[in-house]
Structure 1
Amino acid sequence: MTDSTKYLQALEEFIVLGKSAPGAAAVANIQKCISSPNCFVFAELLELPNVRALQNDPDHAKWLEALKLFAYGSYMDYKHQQTTSPNSLPDLSPPQLTKLKQLSLITIASTEPHKLTYPSLQSLLDIPNTRLLEDLIISAIYASLLDAKLDTANQRVEVSSTAGRDVAPGDITNMIAALESWSSSCSSVLTEIEAQIASIQASAVTQRKEQLAYEKAVDDKRKTAEKDGSKGKRVIDHDGLGLGPGEDEMDLDDGPFDDQGGARKTRKGGNRMFSRKR
């Protein structure tokens, strides 16, 4: 069972009650829901007609606002409204405040991760000491709201992932805009990568052509050199009548004559000599 399914199942009993509980009964249902230790999503309850109708009752509207706060607000919002609009929200019980602080850890980790230090969290959540802060974080981890580790040496909370929270109606437009911006950025990066790949492939083809041309030129020069080297050599056999099978070639030396005026002829690599009289 996934965490989302577990949270929805925990909310189900409050949805059933909320369908048939108007007015004060709807308020009592909300109070139980935001106090439940297993319920961390509230959007479906907010959509019920009996719950939405509370906004028209001055005595009950503050509990509708409290439910919205648990759905997509934070403890910091609660403190701010208590200061600026004291009558807009009800006073919350200790279990309700603890749950709101647990949910606020998700918001802080998702939107302001640089504030996940012990001193910052104690200030934001009005927690007087480190021990109580660590207890709150551990309870959020056990509730599967956070995947996190406590770095006590550096007084930090290392959060790997968080559970999802309900999305406020006004945030949907912002989310769509953010996703469209992200998609556009991905397309730009992909286009740039494709251009770089095409450039690398074209460069590789050019280099290969140049290598083949170079190898051909070298091979042509080698063949030409071998052909030119064989043209200037005259060879005769031992008797001047042509070589027989397996016999050695003789170079004709047109250098100095021997004592009788004959040209000397020497066999390469051999010791025999013969001369021809003029």
Structure 2
Amino acid sequence: MTDSTKYLQALEEFILLGKSAPGAAAVANIQKCISSPNCFVFAELLELPNVQALVNDAEHKKWVEALKLFAYGSYMDYKQQKSAASDSLPDLTDLQLTKLKQLSLITIASTEPHRLTYPSLQSLLDIPTTRLLEDLIISAVYASLLDAKLDTANQRVEVSSTAGRDVAPGDISNMIAALEGWSASCSSVLTEIEAQIASIQASAVAQRKEQLAYEKLVEEKRKTAEKDGSKGKRVMDHSDNTGFGLGEDEMDLDDGPFDDQGGARKSRKGGNKMFSRKR
């Protein structure tokens, strides 16, 4: 069960009573609701006809204003309005004031996070001691109103998330404008991302084409080199170590055409040619 569902279930009994409780009974129902330790949303109760009818009653309309503060106001608003006109709001009990301060922590964390220091919170919420402030914050954490840690060394409250509160009628247009601005920003970012992706893909295709063209050129050069190399081979038969071939009719002579006695030397192949020496 989510926190929002839990809060709505806690409110359900007060909605059922509010539908059939006019006048003073409606006021009593509001008082019980804002005192309940488990109820932290109030918009549906505020919208009931019996509650809205209290606006026309001078004696009871201040409880409608009090319910509005619990729905989307704060303890700071309560102090300001009471200071401006003491009879504009009822005097709240200590239990009701504590609950309003718990809800105010959500508002401060959401709208003015820079004020989440011990001195600032003590001043805003009229809390005299650090111990009482820490007790209030811990109670809000246990009620699932805040996800927070106390930094006692630096006298700060580190809030990572908060529960949602009821939306005031005048805030709806602001929320719509904020959501439209966020949507436009997201669309702009998506357009930029798509353009970058298209550019990267085009670059990859171009690089691939260049790589294929290069590989094709290398392959053509290799084939041409192999073809030219086979044509340039030199085949030599019956060659000696010098590379000059000797025919079958060529003679292999020793030092000269004469022997030691001056006679003619025969060829090693048995030829009959003779050489004579003049005397």
User: How is 1:18-29 mapped onto 2 (pairs within 5 angstroms)?
Assistant: 18-29=18-29
Question: Radius of gyration: which is bigger?
Answer: 2
Residue 199 of structure 1 deviates from its aligned partner by 0.5
**Does structure 2 conserve the Cα–Cα contact (< 8 Å) formed by 1:265 and 1:274?**
no
SS state of the match for residue 76, structure 1? helix
Tell me which moved more, 128-137 or 20-29.
20-29
Partner amino acid, structure 2, of 1:126: D
Per the alignment, residue 145 of structure 2 pairs with: 145
Distance 2:8 2:215 in 1: 72
**Does structure 2 conserve the Cα–Cα contact (< 8 Å) formed by 1:18 and 1:50?**
yes
Distance 1:275 1:266 in 2: 11
**Ranges in structure 1 where 5+ consecutive residues have no aligned partner:** 239-249, 251-263, 268-272
Per the alignment, residue 70 of structure 2 pairs with: 70
Partner amino acid, structure 1, of 2:51: V
Distance 1:17 1:36 in 2: 14
Per the alignment, residue 81 of structure 2 pairs with: 81
**Structure 1 vs Structure 2: percent identity of aligned residues?**
85
**Does structure 1 conserve the Cα–Cα contact (< 8 Å) formed by 2:148 and 2:161?**
yes
Per the alignment, residue 216 of structure 2 pairs with: 216
TM-score calculated relative to the size of structure 1: 0.83
**Does structure 2 conserve the Cα–Cα contact (< 8 Å) formed by 1:265 and 1:275?**
no
SS state of the match for residue 275, structure 1? coil
Cα deviation code 1:45-73 (max 9, x no counterpart): 11111110111111111111000000000
**Does structure 1 conserve the Cα–Cα contact (< 8 Å) formed by 2:237 and 2:245?**
no
1:123 to 2:123 alignment: yes
Cα deviation code 1:81-140 (max 9, x no counterpart): 122333321221111110000001111112222222222211221112211111000000
Cα deviation code 1:232-272 (max 9, x no counterpart): 3321233xxxxxxxxxxx6xxxxxxxxxxxxx6646xxxxx
1:182 to 2:182 alignment: yes
Residue 229 of structure 1 deviates from its aligned partner by 3.6
Distance 1:191 1:177 in 2: 21
Per the alignment, residue 244 of structure 1 pairs with: none
Tell me which moved more, 225-234 or 131-140.
225-234
Per the alignment, residue 9 of structure 2 pairs with: 9
Partner amino acid, structure 2, of 1:140: A
Per the alignment, residue 114 of structure 1 pairs with: 114
**Does structure 1 conserve the Cα–Cα contact (< 8 Å) formed by 2:236 and 2:245?**
no
**Does structure 1 conserve the Cα–Cα contact (< 8 Å) formed by 2:35 and 2:95?**
yes
Partner amino acid, structure 2, of 1:211: Q
Partner amino acid, structure 2, of 1:49: P
Residue 207 of structure 1 deviates from its aligned partner by 0.6
Per the alignment, residue 105 of structure 2 pairs with: 105
**Does structure 2 conserve the Cα–Cα contact (< 8 Å) formed by 1:7 and 1:38?**
yes
Which of 231, 236, 246 does residue 275 from structure 1 map onto? 246
Give me the CA root mean square deviation: 2.0
How many residues are paired up?
249
Per the alignment, residue 246 of structure 1 pairs with: none
Residue 160 of structure 1 deviates from its aligned partner by 2.2
TM-score calculated relative to the size of structure 2: 0.82
SS state of the match for residue 119, structure 1? helix
Residue 219 of structure 1 deviates from its aligned partner by 2.4
Q: Which has more strand, going by share of residues?
A: 1
Distance 2:212 2:17 in 1: 82
Tell me which moved more, 124-133 or 220-229.
220-229
SS state of the match for residue 169, structure 1? coil
Partner amino acid, structure 2, of 1:12: E
Cα deviation code 1:139-170 (max 9, x no counterpart): 00111111222122222222222111111111
Distance 1:18 1:274 in 2: 126
SS state of the match for residue 174, structure 2? helix
Residue 274 of structure 1 deviates from its aligned partner by 5.2
Tell me which moved more, 211-220 or 50-59.
211-220
Distance 2:8 2:22 in 1: 22
Per the alignment, residue 195 of structure 1 pairs with: 195
